[in-house]
Amino acid sequence: MITIIRSSANSEERAQLMNLLCRVSGSQRPIATIKMNGQEVIALDDSIFDAQTRITISQQSAVERIVPIKTPYKLVSRAFKAQDSSIVVGDALGGRPVVIGGTSPVIIAGPCAVENKEQLLTTAHAVKAAGGRILRGGAFKPRTSPYQFQGLGIEGLHLLDDARRETGLPVITEVMESEMVETVAQYADILQIGSRNMQNFPLLRAAGQNSQGRPVMLKRGLAATIEEWLLAAEYIVAAGNPNVILCERGIRSYDTQTRNVLDLSCVPLLRELTHLPIIVDPSHATGRRELVPTMSRASIAAGADGLILEVHPDPNTALCDGRQSITPEELQRIVRETGLIAQVLGGKAGLSYAA
Ligand code: PEP
Ligand code: MN
């Protein structure tokens, strides 16, 4: 259930409501209010409430209205917000603003990892020239083996800052630890939470509380169900950051031919379940650069709001994920072809997601 607070409610009326909600939900912590859609709201699991409790809550003078939500995720649900969320990124740190979830798909591209200044700046200029709108690059890399390249850390953030200054492209980079959210938010236009951290709840909360207004791109966990993924997004929103972007990057299966299995059916399904923008990552989903162009086109045809692609000036020498990295020339072609597909489909308006 979502309780919408009357904007004119005074502090006494609010306190009365909070006391009631704490009591009926058995909460030991103070109940948090979130600003969303220009309204102050409180999301609660009301499955343990009886009918009379719901009526009592709705009759509180601080309450404008109650929205019943059946799913365990509340604030990110389509039932709460019927219109698609669109998120403006890149306006805080001097980059050129980009809208994710608007009428045209956004291509995010760049190396898996920031390796050095020349590699990043060469790639950034190539991404811009190819029509990419946002630069990606990992400064802190979550690697499966402790002996693999772990990223340049803070130095990588400085290089991303340089690349934004030189090209005007907003940047996205991964944050792996809750303590680092504030630092990464000083440099990144979008914070990425990687697949391996999708259920790192302290990190999700920190991204909700300390990201200084930066949007968060939440990648689907290696073997996460769609409900688990939406609940992870709910953590970020419930902690105070409504600007969450979902990223499908493939899920684990038994076949070793591809790195993961790209679950494209999740795109139209998510459209029914949530108002959050959806990005697809065909690079990590397939793990093979020759499959990336086709799956990029398919993702946009399925209605994704954009793509995140790994690009390297010389993929065979990449320190990380070279096998799935495409060249700038291939990126240019993907930008052109996906743009044409989006045009033919008439943007999101041309795709029907109705149940
Ligand atoms: C990445 O984007 O480089 C990355 C590590 O992705 P994922 O978390 O999806 O594996
Ligand atoms: Mn990668």
121 CA from centroid of ligand 1 (Å): 21
Model confidence at 282, pLDDT cuts 50, 70, 90, reads very high
Model confidence at 349, pLDDT cuts 50, 70, 90, reads low
Residue 138 CB less than 6 A away from ligand 1 = yes
68 CA from centroid of ligand 2 (Å): 40
288-340 residue pLDDT tens: 999 999 999 999 999 999 999 999 999 999 999 999 999 999 999 999 999 99
What is the structure's pLDDT at 352? 60
33-48 residue pLDDT tens: 999 888 999 999 998 8
194 CA from centroid of ligand 1 (Å): 5
Residue 133 CB less than 6 A away from ligand 1 = no
49-91 residue pLDDT tens: 999 999 999 999 999 999 999 999 999 999 999 999 999 999 8
Percentage of the chain exceeding pLDDT 90: 93
In the predicted model, what is the mean pLDDT of residues 3-19?
A: 95
Residue 284 CB less than 6 A away from ligand 1 = yes
Q: Of all protein residues, whose CA lies closest to atom 9 belonging to ligand 1?
A: 195
- Collapse the DSSP code of 82 into the 3-class scheme (helix H, G, I; strand E, B; otherwise coil) and give the result: coil
Lowest mean pLDDT among 36-45, 191-200, 223-232: 36-45
What is the structure's pLDDT at 333? 98
Residue 220 CB less than 6 A away from ligand 1 = no
Tokens read off for 214: 């930066």
Q: Strands 106-110 and 98-100, how do they pair? A: unpaired
What is the structure's pLDDT at 30? 78
89-148 residue pLDDT tens: 998 999 999 999 999 999 999 999 999 999 999 999 999 999 999 999 999 999 999 999
195 CA from centroid of ligand 1 (Å): 6
Distance CA 121, CA 117 (A): 6
Model confidence at 355, pLDDT cuts 50, 70, 90, reads very low
Q: How many CB atoms neighbour CB 139 within 10 A?
A: 27
Distance CA 127, CA 125 (A): 5
Q: Of all protein residues, whose CA lies closest to atom 10 belonging to ligand 1?
A: 195
Model confidence at 32, pLDDT cuts 50, 70, 90, reads confident
Q: Of all protein residues, whose CA lies closest to atom 6 belonging to ligand 1?
A: 194
Nearest ligand to the CA of 322 is 2
147 CA from centroid of ligand 1 (Å): 17
Do 293 and 337 touch, CB atoms closer than 8 A? yes
Q: How many Å from the N-terminal Cα to the C-terminal Cα in the chain?
A: 22
In the predicted model, what is the mean pLDDT of residues 173-192?
A: 98
What is the structure's pLDDT at 353? 55
Spatial neighbors of 14 by CB under 8 A, at least 6 apart, are 5, 62
Residue 190 CB less than 6 A away from ligand 1 = no
Does the pLDDT value for residue 354 go beyond 90?
no
- Collapse the DSSP code of 193 into the 3-class scheme (helix H, G, I; strand E, B; otherwise coil) and give the result: strand
What is the structure's pLDDT at 172? 98
